[in-house]
Homo-oligomer: A and B are copies of this chain.
């Protein structure tokens, strides 16, 4: 079975770990969000790709869900001693090595997709990890800071401001001109199932879908497209999906997110058992829906979610 998964960071990475357990023989291609990539200290940092790579490759800091296990922070502390910031982005020494290798390869002319493949040679994530695009796309969030409306990089909104201010708009800068990375459209065309993990529907999966050609390829693939709600009990399980959903005029409910993707794209939708009363609303919108436990408390619980998603896909396929 060939599965394509659109993934953001922590939520996507953890879901993938469950999916690998649920479908150990599946051929999984992950299309990773690069809209939250950022240049820091002259280095190219790809937080979502790295979170997937580290999580599936066994290098993740399990507690915080991002960054490397057993991390140290000598480089960061020295950079601070030079007065070089930002200090709000916590890059550890082990993590720095990834960004140094990536930046060196990009500087030598390799596209991000080739760089990602080279990095994965080490980590052996057990999936094929593709960036959504080799072109630069940068998610900006429009906020009011000290009375002034301005667009900040997604990382500044999320890590520095901790999503503590309202987002007025979310703009995937450069997305319109971006092309899907080599292999993305092919993987979608050859997929048996496409899954949307419980990742952020706006700044993670939404950004991937904003790359011209990807949404269309999924809609036209003629295979089941099944998503898992990142909203449980009218709140995001983690992160700030509610804030950025508000920015695009979507309620933070499991049903509203399904409607936001739309029946033209989505065939099946899993909501948590606490949102069982949303099932009828989602199905009325033409999307098959089930209520199942959606808390990724451990790998086994996550694998059960993945099985439910694959089961729903089979049901859709009919």
In the complex, per-residue mask of A54-96: 1 if CB is within 8 Å of any chain B CB, else 0: 0000000000000000001011101101111000000011101
Q: Is the CB of A42 within 8 A of B100?
A: yes
Q: Is the CB of B78 within 8 A of A94?
A: yes
Interface residue tally for chain A (C-beta within 8 Å): 29
Cα–Cα distance between A79 and B122 once the two chains are bound (Å)? 11
Closest Cβ neighbor of A105 among chain B residues: B42
Q: List chain B residues, Cβ under 8 A from A74.
A: 72, 74, 92-94, 97
State which of B82, B94, B103, B108 has its C-beta within 8 Å of the C-beta of A97: B82
A292 at the interface (CB under 8 A from B): no
Cα–Cα distance between A121 and B83 once the two chains are bound (Å)? 10
Q: Is the CB of B84 within 8 A of A42?
A: no
Q: List chain B residues, Cβ under 8 A from A84.
A: 101, 104
Q: List chain B residues, Cβ under 8 A from A41.
A: 100-101, 104
Q: List chain B residues, Cβ under 8 A from A94.
A: 74-75, 78
Q: Is the CB of A81 within 8 A of B122?
A: yes
- Return A138 CB to nearest CB of chain B, in Å: 18
Cα–Cα distance between A82 and B118 once the two chains are bound (Å)? 8
A24 at the interface (CB under 8 A from B): no
Closest Cβ neighbor of A39 among chain B residues: B104
A316 at the interface (CB under 8 A from B): no
Q: Is the CB of B72 within 8 A of A100?
A: no
Q: List chain B residues, Cβ under 8 A from A100.
A: 41-43, 75, 79, 96
CB contacts under 8 Å to B, within A91-131, are 92-94, 96-98, 100-101, 103-104, 107-108, 118-119, 121-122
Q: Is the CB of B42 within 8 A of A104?
A: yes
Cα–Cα distance between A83 and B123 once the two chains are bound (Å)? 12
Cα–Cα distance between A94 and B74 once the two chains are bound (Å)? 6
A-B contact pairs, 8 of them (CB 8 A): A72-B93, A74-B92, A74-B94, A75-B94, A75-B96, A78-B94, A78-B97, A82-B97
Apart from the given pairs A42-B100, A72-B93, A78-B97, 15 other A-B contacts in the complex at a CB distance below 8 Å: A42-B104, A42-B108, A72-B72, A74-B92, A75-B97, A78-B94, A79-B100, A79-B101, A81-B122, A82-B97, A82-B98, A82-B119, A82-B122, A83-B121, A84-B101
